[in-house]
Amino acid sequence: MIFENRLRIFNAFIAEFPKDRPVTKYLPEYFRRNKQMGSRDRRNLSNAIYSYFRLGNCLEELKIDERLFVALFLTTQNTDDFLTYFRPDLAERINLPFPDKVEFLQKIYPSFNFQALFPFHSHLSAGIAHDAFIAAQLVQPDLFIRTNKERAINLEHYLNESQISFEKNGNCYRLPNATKLNNADYLYDVQDQSSQYTANYFQPKPNEQWWDCCAASGGKSLLLHELEPTVTILASDNRASILQNLEIRFQQAGIRNFRRREIDLLAEINAFEKESFDGIILDAPCSGSGTWARTPEMLIQFKEDKIAYFMNLQRTIAENAIQFLKVGQPLIYITCSVFKEENEEAIAYFLANLPVKLEKMELIKGYEQKADTMFVARLIKL
């Protein structure tokens, strides 16, 4: 009865879930409307939902219940009483190595195609190991936070007092993905390990003027300021509301030497003089496909034709931004995408059509480290 009720709750959620909403936004709303659900019910439902969406469109001919059982089988290595109740044949093999699980499923379901777990695999950037990347989509990445030297002692004291396990690499901290950091947000910023790594490409010099032209909440600007506090930053975005959040975040981090400005980089821009900046960070709007292990619902929400949309968007933004960069200075191009059209093919386009040369570029293989997969390149204006 308990397990049947869990399945009923799951089916009710799937039936009403809007296919264009992020789970992280919708799930809290669902819980607020269903206050009778206890903490265990919420945890079980969350686990089932994330596991289910990791199946993408694979085995879509099956009923929802059956697809959930397959998803739970693929995404866990722990004995599951829920799965034991409904599918003991799967539960008794829950500890098998992943390749053996795939082989077993192919015997039961001849239509099961491992590649279909990530339906856009033909677009993956060069250098990505397809099977390893697809397998990584079945695992929730870790939580990464960043702090600075001034806050580090207090942060580590908080983590130790709260008995929260962590690994530290410089100012980057790795925590279990479900960690709750209650009332401690003043000690850290949430930022994926791969995102923090992109700062290695910035190389700012004292007193330079830099433009973070798609700044969003300002994560890359925070990294830039940490590398060189004397840099003056212009942080722009086309969304006024997110720039307000950016200003709050900058103030909390003690950044004073900055301006924020609402700028639409798809339009004709005459916001400032040509060749105004010593460096530009273009953290480009993109598919976000390198982060889908965190947001697996995107496997069914994302449409393939959106790749071309983002590709053209990135080209237009780069073409408009480059005119404001000084000769000999860097444009840092960043995506959280695994698609070649947004990564190495974007760089090939820039080299052919913009006055730039490539200094270096890198696919950051976060899927090998339970982190996001990203791409970064340092281009120098000619």
- Catalytic (active-site) positions: 336
pLDDT value at residue 268: 66
Residue type, 171: N
Strands 279-283 and 330-335: parallel
DSSP-derived 3-state class of residue 190:
strand
Per residue of the chain (382 residues), give pLDDT as tens. 789 999 999 999 999 999 889 999 999 999 999 989 888 999 999 999 999 999 999 999 999 999 999 999 999 988 889 999 999 999 999 999 999 999 999 999 999 999 999 999 999 999 999 999 999 999 999 999 999 888 999 999 999 999 999 999 999 999 999 899 998 988 999 999 999 999 999 999 999 999 999 999 899 999 999 999 999 999 999 888 888 888 888 887 788 888 888 888 887 677 677 888 999 999 999 999 999 999 999 999 999 999 999 999 999 999 999 999 999 999 999 999 999 999 999 999 999 999 999 999 999 999 999 999 999 999 999 9
Which of these CATH numbers, 2.30.40.10, 3.40.50.150, 3.90.700.10, 3.50.70.10, describes 194-381?
A: 3.40.50.150
pLDDT at residue 245, as a whole number: 86
Residue 152: per-residue pLDDT? 93
Instruction: DSSP for 264-321, please give it.
Output: -TTS---SS-TT-BSEEEEE-----GGGTTT-TTHHHH--TTHHHHHHHHHHHHHHHH
